[in-house]
Amino acid sequence: MTNSIAHHPAFSFVRSEYIDALNVSVQEFEHTTTGAKHYHIASDNDENVFLVGLKTVPTDSSGVAHILEHSVLCGSERFPVRDPFFMMIRRSLNTFMNAFTSSDWTAYPFASKNKKDYFNLLDVYLDAVFFSRLDPLDFSQEGHRLEFEEPENPESDLTFKGVVFNEMKGAMSSTTSVLWQTMTKYLFPSNTYHFNSGGEPTDIPDLSYDDLMAFYRKHYHPSNAVFMTFGDIPAETLQAQFEEKVLSRFEQLDAKVSVDNVKRYFSPVRVEEGFAAEEVKEDGSHVVVSWLLGESTDLGQQFEAQLLSSVLLDNSASPLRRVLENTELGQAPSPLCGLEDSNKEMSFMCGLEGVKRENSEAVEKLVLDTLEDVAKNGVDQSMVDAMLHQLELSQREIGGGGYPYGLQLILAGLSTAVHSGDVIAQLDLDPVIEDMREKVKDKEYIPNLIRNLILSNAHRITLTLSPDESLEGLRNDAEKERLANIKASLSEAEKQDIIDRSKALKERQEQVDDISILPKVGLEDVPASIPVYENLPLEKAVPVTFYPQGTNGLVYQQLVVELPELTADETAVLPTFAMLLTEVGVGDKDYLAMQSHQAEICGGLGASNSIRATLEDKHALNGYFIVSSKALVPNALAMTELMTDTLKNVRFDEVGRIKELIAQRRARRQQAITGQGHSLAMTSAASGISGLSAQEEAWGGMTGLASLIALDDSLKEGDDAMNALIAKLQSIHAKVLSMPKQVLLVAEGHHLDDLDSGLTPVWQTLGQPTGDMSRFTLPFVETSVKQGWTTATQVSFCSKAFKTPSGSHPDVAPLTVLGGFLRNGYLHRAVREQGGAYGGGASFDGTAGAFRFYSYRDPRMLETLADFDQSITWLLETEHTEDALEEAILGVIGSLDKPSSPAGEAQGDFFLKLHGREQAYREQQRKRILAVTVEDLQRVAKAYLTPENESAAVITSAANADVLKEQGFTINNL
């Protein structure tokens, strides 16, 4: 603890603690009038983060908290423009902007490295959250509304529209989402977690505007809020803004928003429900067993539950996961396996997917018998120690990538903060880990946890979720009947009201706001150059590149091998080779021993392929095979030995293991379709443009998924397919070993000498080829594509792709800016606001030479494809402002400058250089982007976004297949 930290007079200082493992000081304050909490994570990191979180507790599944999250960002008291959130994205150098609705909180976070930008965003966010206008037309747009299918014809059919309505149709097309929502409905019978906070599509139309306003008034108050910040701006400076802009206008709220603990069952419950499927497979059910545990705000209970979950399920050597992976009762462990500790009360779940419906009780018995066995016989102490080691690794690692590091820390403490727990203790895991080290010395500690938390716990649910091919039709029929009944009950005046509201909304969507009232940064605020990362080449038989970075006691290592020339069959299974390499046996150790060994010494091993086109020719490739890991510095030697041993001595003779891993991969990729449908549609649309884009489709696109399904099915039919696969894997392995190798090493600079002397002898055992080796190539013929893919989804994902230049061509810069320009100026309004899709836009892939349009969770298809074309017409025929151009350029620069973790930035720099994107090239591209003109955008659109360069792809439901066929699409069904 420290003495009082400087703070604003409106706040009282509560406490502060320095957390050594994170190299931050966590400071807690309380607003004296409203009781609002402020947690500031003080760091020397210049990427400052802000988040305001509110406890939001829905009492139904109408999606009120979710629709409110969307509507709040549509204009406020000081910024009465129609869409300040999306406008600020364009007027900012933010590294992160978003809003989240969880099961019991709503959060509004942003991050920026630019101080002017940070305070601009802070102004807008504070006003949006606490002084939102909540226009009824915004509720109609973002939530739900009735419209006639022919908007001015009251004789046409009614339809439901709304961004959240369609977003949740997409979200609830995911079987995993249905599984989770169905389980929590039974696991929490008497509190807010019983409901779908995002909203059920069947219930969203029940929400009224008055309901929305009542929820806002109750929940969006500082007394129900927690402010969380990270970075190098002092707490006192931030609090002055909170007080001036918001808190001085509020008093303490008497009524407290709270989450009641659930009423507990006295005996287990078994339930069965269905999920929509295009076909019913005999072994298509999910069976999950879950238990309700203690409160997540009790740190002792939380980390006991985390440790227990890790010991049971962390990897394939963990006792419960091992049984679930090897049983004949199902195809793969359930995606719900593990601990859920973000709710006030935690839950533990495990089970199987790919189960025969009649085997539900057998799966439950398997789970319970396994737990009884572990409780009786215990687990190896090495496994418990390995899980504590993994906790320490996760505590020390400085994250990055998807979320800023500061936001990751904030989110780690948010649920605890919302439920008035100890945030500092939540972030400072070292004392907890040390306490656990003492407790686990008792051999009965883990068995007792199993008995006390699980086996003697009567609040248990066994859920069987089975495929139902009639469910989607019944749901659609029910919606049509509901709409027909509504239409039949409408008076002429009510029909006219619907028409008038549709007109009013369209006018509002097309109005031109005075956006000058919004703060902004300009091109003058853009950093002049990009960072230069220090690196040291170490001349060895196996070359090493060392990046000194602040990694907080971790060392990151990657073995990088040039990809060899492969046959077409070998190329097809290259991703499978990468996936299997770190998951099967090595030398005289089977996969179980290797899984345990990895957990004991490092953060796991991963393997991947890095393939990019050259700057000069998008059909010529550089390809590398990479084995990656990370460890605490004292374990660097053991990690290096593990990595080299795996690469040299991997074995592909564990047939059962290979089958299991491929089945798991298939299941995960099928479940991910509706979450990443826009990316899959873009990959499919661009697949005829270059060898790289064709291979991306063949590996990771819908074609790749179809191939994976075929492979999985073939392995179940006999030995021939497995023997053929193993032969390909062994051939790839032999070829990879024969290729030139190098090492990337990232750690703090003062560790270099020890790492160099300790690890060099191990690296040299890899050896290097003695002659020139044939390198990886991809034969390719350009073609146009018009693909339709059908799957179980209530919404569509649309894309068009156009052939363009790539690499170092001068037109790459304007094409890069063009995506944001079209999104900002046309596509966001047409596809999202008017069309009702959750998202839509355009982007440029400068490696493959493809300009791609996309929509996400879209209720439309052909109309959206037409909107893509219309955006080009708009670009060419409309007069555009310099401000609009500047916004698009700012978006590109913000994306380019988005920071990663220290290790991630080093790795990114290394691989850019490896693929020929040297510092000079990157600086040149930045200058070209900053110099783009509106005329450049129009010129490249006219040159490249033409019908002869066009391809298209749509992922949709089978009900839409005939419509696509009529438009010349080739239909593929998963």
> Does position 282 have pLDDT exceeding 70, yes or no?
yes
The neighbour count for residue 523, using CB atoms within 10 Å, is: 11
Query: Which H or E run includes 146?
Result: strand 145-148
Question: Amino acid identity, residue 459?
Answer: H
Among residues 392, 314, 572, 517, which one has the least CA distance to residue 324?
Answer: 314
Say what the pLDDT of residue 401 is: 63
What's the rounded mean pLDDT across residues 32-43? 97
Is the separation of the CB atoms in 549 and 623 below 8 Å? Answer: no
DSSP summary character for residue 833? I
Buried b (16+ CB within 10 A) or exposed e, 411-433: bbbbbbbbbebebbbbbbbeebb
> Does position 514 have pLDDT exceeding 70, yes or no?
yes
Of 215-219, 368-372, 385-389, the range with the lowest mean pLDDT is: 385-389
Question: Amino acid identity, residue 369?
Answer: D
- 491 burial via Cβ count (<10 Å: 0-12, 13-18, 19+): exposed
Say what the pLDDT of residue 82 is: 87
> Does position 178 have pLDDT exceeding 60, yes or no?
yes
Long-range own/partner contacts, residues 243-249 (CB < 8 A, 24 or more apart)? 243/8, 243/10, 243/11, 243/31, 245/122, 245/123, 245/126, 245/127, 246/126, 246/130, 246/131, 246/222, 247/10, 247/31, 247/33, 247/34, 247/36, 247/222, 248/10
What's the rounded mean pLDDT across residues 795-806? 96
Question: Cα Rg for the chain, rounded, in angstroms?
Answer: 28
d(CA 126, CA 107): 12
Of 8-22, 204-218, 284-298, 427-441, the range with the lowest mean pLDDT is: 427-441
Cα dihedral 826/832/836/842 (nearest 10) = 90
Residue ranges covered by each domain of the chain: 11-257, 786-973
Q: Which two tokens stand for residue 259?
A: 């989450």
Look-up of token digits 């599509």: 201
d(CA 627, CA 646): 9
Q: Which two tokens stand for residue 510?
A: 């097309």
d(CA 289, CA 806): 51
Say what the pLDDT of residue 485 is: 96
d(CA 42, CA 354): 48
How much of the chain exceeds pLDDT 90, in percent? 83
Is the separation of the CB atoms in 415 and 340 below 8 Å? Answer: no
CATH node for 786-973: 3.30.830.10
Residue 900 — pLDDT band, cuts 50, 70, 90?
confident
Tell me how long the chain is: 974
Look-up of token digits 């590149």: 545
SS3 of 298-351: CHHHHHHHHHHHHHHHCCCCCHHHHHHHHCCCCCEECCCCEEECCCCEEEEEEE
**Chain centroid, CA 451 distance in Å:** 35
| Tens of pLDDT, residues 48-69 | 999 999 999 999 999 999 999 9
Is the separation of the CB atoms in 827 and 888 below 8 Å? Answer: no
> Does position 3 have pLDDT exceeding 80, yes or no?
no
Say what the pLDDT of residue 1 is: 47
Angle at the Cα of 848 from the Cα atoms of 844 and 852, rounded to 5 degrees: 35
| Tens of pLDDT, residues 5-29 | 999 999 999 999 999 888 899 999 9
- Mean pLDDT (the chain, rounded): 94
Question: Amino acid identity, residue 488?
Answer: A
User: Could you tell me where the beta strands, DSSP code E, fall in 748-871?
Assistant: 786-790, 797-803, 839-845, 850-856
Say what the pLDDT of residue 400 is: 65
Is the separation of the CB atoms in 769 and 737 below 8 Å? Answer: no
d(CA 97, CA 50): 10
Question: Amino acid identity, residue 920?
Answer: A
| Tens of pLDDT, residues 689-731 | 998 899 999 999 999 999 999 999 999 888 999 999 999 999 9
Is the separation of the CB atoms in 229 and 50 below 8 Å? Answer: yes
- 555 burial via Cβ count (<10 Å: 0-12, 13-18, 19+): buried
CATH superfamily of 11-257: Metalloenzyme, LuxS/M16 peptidase-like (3.30.830.10)
| Tens of pLDDT, residues 144-176 | 999 999 988 999 999 999 999 999 998 898 999
| Tens of pLDDT, residues 611-626 | 998 888 888 888 999 9
DSSP string, 32-68: TTT--EEEEEE-S-S-EEEEEEEE---SSSS-HHHHH
What's the rounded mean pLDDT across residues 515-540? 90
d(CA 535, CA 874): 47
DSSP SS3 for 915: coil
Is the separation of the CB atoms in 125 and 241 below 8 Å? Answer: no
Query: Which H or E run includes 462?
Result: strand 460-468
Same fold, 11-257 and 786-973: yes
Among residues 576, 573, 581, which one has the least CA distance to residue 644?
Answer: 581
> Does position 2 have pLDDT exceeding 60, yes or no?
no
| Tens of pLDDT, residues 736-745 | 999 999 999 9
Residue 497 — pLDDT band, cuts 50, 70, 90?
very high
Positive or negative: CA dihedral 959, 963, 966, 970: negative
d(CA 201, CA 159): 13
> Does position 931 have pLDDT exceeding 90, yes or no?
yes
Longest dimension (CA), the chain: 86
What's the rounded mean pLDDT across residues 76-92? 91
Query: Which H or E run includes 737?
Result: helix 719-737
